[in-house]
């Protein structure tokens, strides 16, 4: 009899334990896993879901000119390059460089270091939409014209101003003035040919030729430079000039002056337009 009572007690304990476990498992099953409940995700936005880096170009409305030819280059390291030219007024090209930041929503950028001009842009699929100084959309009949569209890499044509002079005469090299023509001695020079994107020039002793590539954002690069092999008493200027052509990667055009740069360094060379 005592044995039967013990067995009966064990059976009841087992049933109670099983029932408790079932309740516990049922309660667990009714709740989502903690990791899923606590998991947070960042919503898609322009900053994290678009290929926003690259070159954007367009013509923005202008109050006193034919339009403002604008190019904005955005880089992955959050740096920018902006070039603008006022059409119908002069050939001067203005350039600004700096860094930019995204807003909290990740859909708008602000360019730092442009206090007097547009510095807010809404970033869309292959477009930048210029905003006003407060970061609001521009409204009105011309609203659709405040859009810069992403370009497909290199421009096919350099600006006509490069080809208009007979040549560009070197006036300054690595921050030092260059001796100009005297007693029949020619100053170093550079000329651009539209056909085939060719260049030719004179280094002070030897002639040279080669190719150039002009891309969006005033990027200018020279390549395949071939030089004649004459010897002269002093070839220092020529050697430095040819080195500048090899290293320059962008330019600044100010009417009759062409300035060669590398990245954000001081000007490598200045050249003056010589009329045909």
Q: Centre a 10 Å sphere on the Cβ of residue 100 and count the other Cβ atoms it contains.
A: 19
Both tokens assigned to 148:
């810069």
In the chain, DSSP assigns E strands to: 54-60, 67-74, 79-87, 93-102, 108-111, 120-124, 127-130, 147-150, 167-173, 176-177, 189-193, 198-202, 207-215, 219-227, 250-254, 257-261, 269-274
This prediction has a pTM of 0.50
Q: What is the residue-level pLDDT of the chain in tens, covering all 276 positions?
A: 444 554 555 555 555 554 555 444 444 444 444 443 444 566 889 999 998 988 888 889 988 888 888 889 899 899 998 888 887 776 677 888 899 999 999 999 999 998 888 999 999 988 999 999 899 999 988 888 899 988 754 444 678 889 999 999 999 999 999 988 766 788 999 999 988 899 999 999 999 999 999 887 678 999 999 999 999 999 999 999 999 999 998 888 877 899 998 876 778 999 999 998
Which token pair is 105? 């929503």
Over the stretch 196-250, which tens digit does the pLDDT of each residue have? 899 999 999 999 999 999 887 678 999 999 999 999 999 999 999 999 999 998 8
Domains of the chain: 46-150 (2.40.128.640), 160-274 (2.40.128.270)
């Amino acid at each position: 009899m005592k044995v039967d009572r013990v067995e009966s007690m064990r059976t009841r304990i087992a049933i109670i334990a099983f029932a408790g476990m079932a309740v516990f498992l049922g309660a667990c099953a009714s709740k989502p896993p903690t990791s899923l409940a606590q998991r947070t995700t960042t919503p898609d936005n322009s900053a994290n879901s678009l290929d926003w880096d690259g070159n954007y170009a367009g013509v923005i409305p202008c109050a006193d000119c034919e339009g403002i030819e604008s190019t904005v280059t955005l880089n992955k390291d959050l740096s920018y390059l902006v070039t603008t030219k006022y059409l119908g007024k002069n050939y001067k090209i203005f350039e600004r460089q700096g860094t930019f930041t995204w807003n909290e929503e990740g859909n708008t950028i602000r360019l730092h270091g442009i206090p007097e001009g547009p510095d807010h842009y809404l970033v869309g699929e292959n477009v930048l939409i210029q905003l006003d100084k407060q970061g609001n959309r521009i409204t009105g009949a011309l609203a659709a014209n405040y859009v810069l569209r992403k370009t497909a890499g290199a421009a096919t044509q350099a600006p006509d101003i490069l080809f208009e002079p007979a040549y560009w005469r070197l006036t300054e090299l690595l921050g030092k003035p260059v001796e100009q023509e005297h007693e029949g001695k020619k100053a170093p020079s550079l000329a651009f040919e539209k056909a085939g994107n060719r260049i030719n020039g004179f280094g002070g002793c030897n002639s040279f030729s080669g190719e150039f590539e002009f891309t969006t954002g005033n990027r200018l690069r020279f390549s395949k430079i071939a030089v004649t092999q004459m010897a002269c008493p002093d070839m220092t200027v020529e050697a430095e000039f040819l080195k500048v052509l090899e290293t320059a990667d962008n330019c600044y055009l100010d009417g009759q002056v062409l300035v060669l740069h590398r990245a954000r360094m001081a000007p490598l060379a200045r050249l003056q337009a010589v009329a045909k």
